[in-house]
Structure 1
Amino acid sequence: MSSLSGKVQTVLGLVEPSKLGRTLTHEHLTMTFDCCYCPPPPCQEAISKEPIVMKNLYWIQKNSYSHKENLQLNQETEAVKEELLYFKANGGGAVVENTTTGISRDVQTLKKLAEETGIHIISGAGFYVDATHSSETRAMSVEQLTDVLMNEILHGADGTSIKCGVIGEIGCSWPLTESERKVLQATAHTQAQLGCPVIIHPGRHPTAPFQIIRILQEAGADISKTVMSHLDRTILDKKELLEFAQLGCYLEYDLFGTELLHYQLGPDIDMPDDNKRIKRNPIQYR
């Protein structure tokens, strides 16, 4: 697409890459995360339904996926606006917003935030994990899914004229489902036609990123324009991480601030703290 080539498509229109400034590449400014609710032990059910107040903060921090209101980020637009302004005051310029269909993408709110803060916001096209796929989504062919992605980038998302600028985050579970496989194939087909970046949410298993890259490659994706997210909770072995890096995609560590003694979404994962994330940087392995 010659009109888009070399440009960044934000919710307010096309921008030269040099105008972005410091960019956060994986954020959620407004979403619902009910799909990841983890019921607490029976003796703690009551606290999971209570409002967020000072006396509950410690429990919520340690059980963040078990508190229902904590999973409703779409309720906190003013707080998000304040954080964007703080980000801007400290040299920030752009945010890639990774909320896709299934977790309440709201491009109109993103446009409003961009207008009110002056931060460039790039919205993501596509679908989250299978647990959030509608029956209509699961029934779609790869060609139909490709049409959806193309439309969200070229014409506008969610019945608006507000266009997405990347594909993703594309949600994948472990094991990968058939619906997710079709979305991955549609992602590759769309990228092959438009040349846009792709951002992947891998399943919580060390082999998941390898499988996803293989599917994308077989469907014609450009792996050099693909980002594999959440590697700080996915590939923990140094040798495996360097092996994965050889495949040529971007390796993203994006769960900074998520420091849990017990990672409810993947009990077998020893979630690193931020110091370990920094020390685990693949560049330091070389």
Structure 2
Amino acid sequence: MTGEPKVRTVLGDIDPAELGVTNSHDHLFFASKQLPGQELDDPADAAEVLLDFKVRGGAALVQWTPYGLTRRTRELASISQRLGVHVVAAAGLHRAEHYAPAVLGHVVDNLAREFVADLTEGTQPADLPGEPRTGPRAGLVKVAGAFHTIDSHARLTMTAAAVAHQETGAPIAVHLELGTAGLETVELLCGKLDVPPQQVILGHLNRNPDPRIQREIAETGVFLGFDGPSRANHATDWRLFDGLEALVEAGHGGQLLLGGDTTTAAARYQPGASYLLTTLAPRLTEQLGGDVVTAMLVANPARAFATSWLA
């Protein structure tokens, strides 16, 4: 790829150095049939969350909400401009169970084309088939693995994401189901589909706190996302610190990203996106040191979400 790396935000491309303190995985808008009654779909609430994140020292938020799950990119752009916080939106597709059959039927036959269009032309308003692409452009492709395996749906979406990466340079962010199948995902994306490891971000590694697996994944060169803190039932808080410390000591501090991953109305304020800065970062600083935590929040996201865009 040629040209200076840029991060593609909902307001346009910026220099990676402008990104600042970054929540590397969260959702201001998200709605799935798997979570009835827990929709994040209120622009006023989203603005309040983003403002609080800014007041706490945040400068950028990466929304991993893909096609069909109420990503509301035009509202993202409006809120971003009004508050002065960078926001990155996602193209892509989640696990099949999140969608009604009609939604999947609209896109599965032309996934790569859909992904590329979201990245280069703009996202569809309200994700409605047939609507003109007048929304902001996405800045990454988000796809999802299956529990402990790469099923047929994951193979389809990851292959389309790899094509979209080759055509645009876009980073690929992967939801690992309960943190599993990380090595299998890297083998497919980087081994068989030729996506550079530094352009792949694996999410939810904190949900499968196996230090040996985390170390093996880190040795491949991909970015490792530790997101969704304060979910005790996912073994996050009480194992997160030792896991991050082990990876830093092994020389992988430059690959670590932190995020909030708020996906339900119940979690919007408890703990919420700002928990990352009000609680998690100070505790990590005590254990790992300020420079290490700053890298996770600033330098690492600036590299993870930047690319020399081809289109």
TM-score > 0.5, shorter chain as reference:
yes
Gaps of 5+ in 2: 125-132, 251-311
Specify the SS of the correspondent of 1:280.
helix
**Amino acid of the structure 2 residue aligned with 1:283:** L
Question: Residue 273 and residue 126 in structure 1: after superposition, are their counterparts in 2 closer, same or farther (change >3 A)?
Answer: closer
- 1:29 — aligned with what? 28
Report Cα offsets for 1:65-85 as digits up to 9, x if no partner. Answer: xxx42x21113x323312211
Q: Return the alpha-carbon distance in structure 2 between the equivalents of residues 138 and 210 of structure 1.
A: 29
| Superposition deviation, residue 177 in structure 1 | 3.1
Query: Any conservation in 1 of the 2:215–2:247 contact (CA below 8 Å)?
Result: no
Query: Any conservation in 1 of the 2:207–2:236 contact (CA below 8 Å)?
Result: no
Specify the SS of the correspondent of 1:96.
strand
| Superposition deviation, residue 157 in structure 1 | 0.7
- 1:165 — aligned with what? 139
- 1:74 — aligned with what? 41
- 1:126 — aligned with what? 92
| Superposition deviation, residue 163 in structure 1 | 0.4
Decide which moves more: 157-166 or 273-282.
Answer: 273-282
Report Cα offsets for 1:175-195 as digits up to 9, x if no partner. Answer: 433232111001111112222
Report Cα offsets for 1:210-239 as digits up to 9, x if no partner. Answer: 1111111212212211110000113x2212
Specify the SS of the correspondent of 2:178.
coil
Query: Any conservation in 2 of the 1:98–1:124 contact (CA below 8 Å)?
Result: yes
| Superposition deviation, residue 136 in structure 1 | 6.2
Q: Return the alpha-carbon distance in structure 2 between the equivalents of residues 273 and 22 of structure 1.
A: 22
Aligned with 1:97 (options 45, 63, 72): 63
- 1:279 — aligned with what? 242
- 1:216 — aligned with what? 189
Which of the pair is proportionally richer in helix? 2
Q: Return the alpha-carbon distance in structure 1 between the equivalents of residues 107 and 186 of structure 2.
A: 22
| Superposition deviation, residue 18 in structure 1 | 1.4
- 1:255 — aligned with what? 228
| Superposition deviation, residue 284 in structure 1 | 4.7
Specify the SS of the correspondent of 1:104.
coil
Matched, 1:239 2:203: no
Aligned with 2:54 (options 88, 100, 106): 88
Query: Any conservation in 2 of the 1:201–1:230 contact (CA below 8 Å)?
Result: yes
Matched, 1:109 2:70: no
Identity between Structure 1 and Structure 2 (%): 23
Give RMSD over aligned pairs. 2.2
Specify the SS of the correspondent of 1:253.
strand
Question: Residue 205 and residue 124 in structure 1: after superposition, are their counterparts in 2 closer, same or farther (change >3 A)?
Answer: closer
Larger radius of gyration: 1
- 1:199 — aligned with what? 173
Question: What TM-score do the two structures reach when normalised by structure 2?
Answer: 0.70
Number of aligned positions between the proteins = 238
- 1:186 — aligned with what? 160
| Superposition deviation, residue 276 in structure 1 | 2.4
Decide which moves more: 180-189 or 79-88.
Answer: 79-88
Query: Any conservation in 1 of the 2:96–2:104 contact (CA below 8 Å)?
Result: no
Report Cα offsets for 1:102-133 as digits up to 9, x if no partner. Answer: 32221111112112211110101111111135
| Superposition deviation, residue 279 in structure 1 | 2.1
Higher relative contact order (CA 8 A, sep 6+): 2
| Superposition deviation, residue 90 in structure 1 | 2.4
Query: Any conservation in 2 of the 1:99–1:124 contact (CA below 8 Å)?
Result: yes
Specify the SS of the correspondent of 1:150.
helix
Q: Return the alpha-carbon distance in structure 2 between the equivalents of residues 2 and 247 of structure 1.
A: 24
Specify the SS of the correspondent of 1:204.
helix
Question: Residue 28 and residue 205 in structure 1: after superposition, are their counterparts in 2 closer, same or farther (change >3 A)?
Answer: closer
Query: Any conservation in 1 of the 2:33–2:98 contact (CA below 8 Å)?
Result: no
**Amino acid of the structure 2 residue aligned with 1:172:** G
Query: Any conservation in 1 of the 2:107–2:114 contact (CA below 8 Å)?
Result: no
Q: Return the alpha-carbon distance in structure 2 between the equivalents of residues 131 and 115 of structure 1.
A: 34
